[in-house]
Amino acid sequence: MNNINLYAPINNLSFGNVSYNFLKVLYKKNINVNLFPIGDKIDLSSFDKCSDDFRSWIESSARNRIQNLSKDVPTLKMWHILQGEQRITPKQYLYTFYELDKPTPIEKKLVDLQDYTFFSSSHASSCFQEAGCTNVHHTPIGFDDDFFETKKVYHKDKVHFVLMGKFEKRKHTAKIIKIWLDKYGNNHDFQLTCAITNPFFHPQQMQNLIAQTLGGKSYFNVNFLPFLNTNSEVNELMNSADVDLTGLSGAEGWNLPSFNMTALGKWSMVLNGTSHKDWATNENSILIEPNRKIPAEDGVFFNKTGDFNQGNIYDFDDEYVFHKMDEAVSRSREYNKEGTKLRDRFTYESTIDNIFKSINN
């Protein structure tokens, strides 16, 4: 097969980053792509290493998508389960992320409608298999080769902790920060940098959430960064980390920041649940065992009633994480060689090869 329709977001969010990496592999393999960008918008502003030739190919793939469209060409849809009923051509293959543990009847129905559904994590695939879906498969994503080790020294006399990802209950953002503040707040030997802007919140909402998390106190060793506009900026932040806290999220479809930092040789504290089980081990991460599940409901992104996103997230004991941070600090003095092996173990080329193998079969 040398032709495919790709329905995907091209933007600066996680889905957009994965779509961009799909396109990089398809371009490299000389696959003819009819690109249907979600929202009919292509935003390549984050991808500052994008070559002119590749950019032109992306734009041409979108511009000529109708002209080259054929009902015999299969569609790879990189999107949420929501809107999975919408098709471009008769054969459609969905690649998606799922974080919780209880697929709803509507989610199951939409997954059943696909010719095949690829989930990024084995956890998600198992949840839908247990719900009765027979057309699902675990196909992990890979390391983004736009990221690399800078070999710079960023914080010579401090241990630098980094927390990334949208501010959410699901990710335990506030909880993680509070634990860190209890242990290291206003201690000159430690620094915390948070890149936790949630683009779905208004700026004032974000300010209020941060103020609530800080409990009205001031800390000189905590920084809150604005949204990072380019992958080069993200790469600098990840390289500056000694310890990553992003892996303490309670539910993930993959957790790109934590995975990428681990692959760059950093040490990440990782909650041993959902997608983390596919790549995090005792050898390459500081594993934190969850001690319970709690409802995902947060009144914003997850609600009790509805046809989508119902279920639970993993939680952990605060005191346990509080003490495990000592181990993280100790390990941070070592180069995480086992973590760097993730670069070869998980590649986007393998992702695309596995998808095409299933489509061809």
* Model confidence at 274: pLDDT above 90: yes
Query: Which letter does DSSP use for residue 188 in this model?
Result: T
Delimiting residues of CATH 3.40.50.2000 domain(s) in the chain: 3-142+346-360, 159-345
* Per-residue pLDDT at 361: 84
* Per-residue pLDDT at 304: 84
* Per-residue pLDDT at 210: 96
Superfamily of domain 3-142+346-360: Glycogen Phosphorylase B; (3.40.50.2000)
Q: How confident is the model at residue 299 (pLDDT cuts 50, 70, 90)?
A: confident
Q: What is the mean pLDDT of the chain?
A: 96
Average pLDDT over residues 321-344: 97
Superfamily of domain 159-345: Glycogen Phosphorylase B; (3.40.50.2000)
pLDDT digits (tens, 9 = 90+) for 1-16: 799 999 999 999 999 9
Q: What is the dihedral of CA 299, 305, 309, 315, to 10 degrees?
A: 60
pLDDT digits (tens, 9 = 90+) for 23-36: 999 999 999 999 99
Do residues 2 and 356 lie in contact, with contact meaning Cβ atoms separated by under 8 Å?
no
Sole residue written with tokens 């106190």: 217
pLDDT digits (tens, 9 = 90+) for 192-250: 999 999 988 999 999 999 999 999 999 999 999 999 999 999 999 999 999 999 999 99
Length of the chain equals: 361
Rounded distance, CA 180 to CA 177, Å?
5
* Per-residue pLDDT at 319: 97
* Per-residue pLDDT at 305: 84
Average pLDDT over residues 332-338: 96
Backbone angles phi, psi at 203, to 5 degrees: -55, -40
* Per-residue pLDDT at 108: 98
Higher pLDDT, 352 or 304: 352
**DSSP strand pairing (312-315 vs 292-295):** antiparallel
Backbone angles phi, psi at 47, to 5 degrees: -95, 75
In the chain, what percentage of residues exceed pLDDT 70?
100
Tokens of 83: 């809107």
Sole residue written with tokens 């080769």: 145
pLDDT digits (tens, 9 = 90+) for 122-178: 999 999 999 999 999 999 999 999 999 999 999 989 999 999 999 999 999 999 999
Do residues 122 and 277 lie in contact, with contact meaning Cβ atoms separated by under 8 Å?
yes
The half-sphere exposure of 191 on its side-chain side, counting CA atoms within 13 A, is: 14
